Amino acid sequence: MVRKSVLTAIVLFGLYIVGMYVYIFHGAQSTIPEALKGTVADPAVFLSEREWVLSEEYSKIRNFLFFAAAPFDWLFYFLILTFGISRGFEKWSLSQTKWKIAQNAIYLFWLSLLSYVVVFPLNYYRYTLSKSYGISTQSFSSWMKDGVIEFWVDFGTMILIVSVLYWLMKKSAKKWWLYAWFLTIPFSLFIMFVQPVVIDPLYNDFYPLKNKELETKILDMANNANIPSEHVYEVNMAEKTNALNAYVTGIGSNSRIVLWDTTLSRLNDQEILFIMAHEMGHYVEKHIYIGIAGYLGLTLVGLWLTAKLMNYFVRRYGKVLNISEVCSIRSLPLFLLITSVLLFASSPLSNYVSRYQESRADRYAIEMTQDKDAAISSFQELTRAGLSQVNPPLLVKWFRYTHPSMLERISTLDQYDTSNQNE
């Protein structure tokens, strides 16, 4: 039974990989519509032929890796259950100490370490791929340092989450998912509050914007939009990437406007002001709070479904998965497998909402700045710097894109400004 299940899982994974490879590299269409050829949204207008070719190549590889990575994780979780590895980790942790939280820490350490080692080749390939296409500028030692920091941050967070989660499972087999969701609310808000001042600085250095003239312009815009902000922060990303970015992060007194130094070096002031107006649009339209509400709603449904599915799989396939009861920590890979599948399945919906919010922020920014040239040129430069695929295939857009494609964003801005001028 176990051998048959493992063989079936591997064959299905192989067929999926072949299918996605054919779709991404041979079946998916990313051509430019005839109506937009020759316009400012056409990559042939603002990219060199080599840049366009590289963006298509790079994007196809990254898209394929994205679609391969999630099922690979699912296969990994399934195999460590069926081969009894998770059960072995649990037995080892129980034999080392009587303290429950210490047992959880030992189990999680070995599970996290095994996961890190198994996924490392894929992550390393992504890193070298980014360097070969001129996106990443990060040294191997710096990349490894970030990976080690992420490992320990995730490990520490998981000890807390898993310890509470499995304690709830033991206390209430039927309603643990509901109690876990209630605790998710303050925990998520706390993480969002400390992220800019505790977690983010572990990876990069943040400091007040050096260009005080530009900072004054940005703060004036924020003041006109009734956005409370005293400083704009700059982060040193040039030593890691050539890509561009800017964002608003945090909540409450820890909210920040952040600009990558690569953005500051490659965009002019007007382009930066448009990007900042876009970020302010998210604040004005309360997208962060809508996002929190949506996240909590999906989490509630996800935890409920996870509880139902875990009970079903343990009851029907417990012997194959080496799980005797849901509340045993050896069932954690099953929990992670189910939640990962649900998250992947729900991504088209969450991405659709995100793309709508991004389009709203674009509209807010162009209304605020009234600068068509800066709006279009900023997105053109973002495309060039990150070798972004201008018009991704439909399946890629559904599952990967939290922002509208550059083709949509640029053409919409161009049409919107033209219509305003004609009124």
278 labelled ligand-binding: yes
φ/ψ of residue 158, rounded to 5: -65, -35
d(CA 366, CA 369): 5
d(CA 132, CA 123): 14
Is there a contact between 181 and 299 (Cβ–Cβ < 8 Å)?
yes
282 labelled ligand-binding: yes
The reply to whether 362 belongs to the active site is yes
φ/ψ of residue 269, rounded to 5: -60, -40
Pairing state of beta strands 206-208 and 246-249? unpaired
The one catalytic residue among 42, 234, 279, 417 = 279
The one catalytic residue among 362, 371, 408, 417 = 362
Closest Cα to residue 391, out of 1, 24, 33, 3?
33
403 labelled ligand-binding: no
Is there a contact between 364 and 112 (Cβ–Cβ < 8 Å)?
no
d(CA 53, CA 61): 13
Q: Residues near 218 by Cβ (< 8 Å), separated by ≥ 6?
A: 209, 232, 257, 272, 273, 276
The reply to whether 146 belongs to the active site is no
- The binding site consists of 278, 282, 358
Active site members? 279, 362
- The binding site for Zn(2+) consists of 278, 282, 358
